[in-house]
Amino acid sequence: MALCLCNDSSDPGPIFLSPIAAPLNTTPATPAVPPLIRRGREPERENTTGGGGMEETEGGAERAVREAWRRDEYVHICRDLLETWHTVNSAPKASRGIFEVARHANEGPENNIKIYPPKPAIKKTCPDPVSTVTRSQITLLDPTGARTRLFAKDNPECARVGDILLVRLRTGDPFAGVCINIRRRGVDTAILLRGQLTRVGVEMWYKIYSPLVEGIEVVQRAAKRARRARLTYMRKVKHDRGSVENVVRMYLRQKAALGTTEVGGKKRGNAAAAAAVGGKKGVCKLAHRVEVLRGHDM
């Protein structure tokens, strides 16, 4: 491909690249430039018959440009773009890319940027972070592991749905009811108890690892193992267990009679044990039975 000027050499006009025109001797050999092809209207022809026409030496170039216009294909390249192309091709290969230039600029003794090694992958140091955090929290909230064993499936003495459980809280009154659901979610394991207050059905959720829960006791076990994991059918009148207050009161009486009623690992006295049972008659009878049992032990 050859370059030819359509205007005077002093005019900084556009340069046309014709694939048909013969190469000029004054044009230096340059690498192939990707053409920018445009389509447009054919320019007005200049009068070549008069004295104001183009010179004879430029007749071949003029004809080539006219043929390109007839085919509706021409190449228009600005002088700045051509100069940039020559500059890029004459420059070293390592400085052509902007990223390579930046990389070479940062390489040198004056660059004092400290490069830190990457941190070790979390997958290698802790393959299962969720289980690790769960175990650490359970160990912190249940140091003895008593509550974990109470609701472990592999424990034959574990609490199951259908059992009557008593939950003692650090702040507030204890609550007893039939366990109708056990939701095992690691450290968020919770139980759903259903009981009655003033003959109104009440259900309470308790998280077994909560610091507010002082203790969980099995008051009475179910007669047979339930065939369902959630005993939601007990909400109906036909299957509702009703109030479990009498069962809990009998359990506390037996426990107080044996002298095993403890709070925080310390044995309670006669008045405190009798007060846990409730009722004046219960207090008198329980105090009398405790004194009799102590007399036999002496």
pLDDT single digits (tens) 2-41: 444 444 444 555 544 444 444 444 455 544 544 444 444 4
Q: pLDDT at position 267, please?
A: 46
Beta-ladder partners of 228: none
CB distance 168 to 182 below 8 Å: no
Q: pLDDT at position 259, please?
A: 79
User: Look-up: residue for tokens 């690249």?
Assistant: 17
Question: Whole-model pTM?
Answer: 0.50
φ, ψ (nearest 5 deg) of residue 76: -120, 115
Q: Where are the alpha helices (DSSP H) in the chain?
A: 59-70, 79-90, 98-106, 122-125, 129-141, 146-150, 245-257, 270-277, 280-297
Domain boundaries in the chain? Answer: 2-101, 122-242, 244-298
241 burial via Cβ count (<10 Å: 0-12, 13-18, 19+):
middle
Beta-ladder partners of 175: 167
> What letters, b where the CB count within 10 A reaches 16 and e where it falls short, cover 182-210?
beeeebebbbbbbbeeeeebeeeebbbbb
Q: pLDDT at position 9, please?
A: 47
Beta-ladder partners of 165: 177, 218
* 87-111 residue pLDDT tens: 656 655 554 555 455 555 555 555 6
Structure tokens at 211: 């610091």
CB distance 219 to 195 below 8 Å: no
Q: pLDDT at position 145, please?
A: 93
Structure tokens at 281: 């008659």
Q: How far apart are CA 8 and CA 18, in angstroms?
A: 17
CATH architecture of 122-242: Roll (2.30)
Closest CA to 184 of 227, 154, 226: 154
Q: How far apart are CA 269 and CA 182, in angstroms?
A: 34
Q: pLDDT at position 23, please?
A: 47
* 143-162 residue pLDDT tens: 999 999 999 999 999 999 99
Stretches in the chain below the pLDDT threshold 70? 1-59, 61, 64-66, 68-111, 260-298
Structure tokens at 60: 């071949």
Q: pLDDT at position 57, please?
A: 46
C-alpha distances (whole Å) from 144 to each of 117, 182, 235 are 42, 21, 35
Structure tokens at 101: 């230039």
SS3 6: coil
Q: How far apart are CA 136 and CA 142, in angstroms?
A: 10
Q: pLDDT at position 294, please?
A: 47
